[in-house]
Structure 1
Amino acid sequence: MGINGFERPRDGYPTPPFSTDLLVDFHSGLLDPDVAEHVRVGVADDPDAQRILAALDATTEDLASLRGEEIPIPPDVRARMLRVIGESGTD
C-alpha cells in the first residue's frame, strides 16, 4: 500500500531522494503526521529537497502577496469574455 499514492518501502516510509510530488504533499500538510515527521528528518540531509521546498515557500509567498490586489483584466480578454457571455444566451 502506498503513502498518499507513493510506494512504501519495507519499513513503511518513503526513502530519499523524495519525489517532487511527495514534497508538495509534505509542504501542503497532506501527509500523515508520522510520514511527515519522517520526511522532515530526511529533508535535513537532502539539498535537492530543500531547494524544492524553498521554491514552494517562495511561490506561496508570491501568491499570498497578491491577496487583495486588484489586477485589471486585459482589454482583449475582457472583450472575448463579454462576447462569449453574450453568445451563450440566457436559457
Structure 2
Amino acid sequence: MKITLKPEQQKFIEAQVTSGRYPSAEEVIAAALELLADNSEPKESSTYQKWVEETRPKVATGIAQLDRGEGIDGEIVIARLQEKFRKIRENKI
C-alpha cells in the first residue's frame, strides 16, 4: 500500500519523531490508527468509556472523603507540591 501525505501531515509526523515521543514515523502512524480504531468502536467498549468507568468510583470516594471533612486545603497541597519540586531541583544540581 502506498500512501501520499499532505505536507502538513508529514511535518506533524516528523515533529512527533523529532520530539522523541515516537521512535519512528511508523510508530506515529500506528498510534494514530489505534486511536482511530478506538474511536470507531461503540462507546460502550471504547478505551475512554473504560477509563470513565474506572474513574467514577474514585471520584465518588474522593467526594465522600470531602463530605466527611477529610480533604486538604488547596493552598496546602500547592505548597507541598512546590516544596517537593524545589527539593527535586536541588538534588539535580
Superposition TM-score, scaled by structure 1 size: 0.31
More helix per residue: 1 or 2? 2
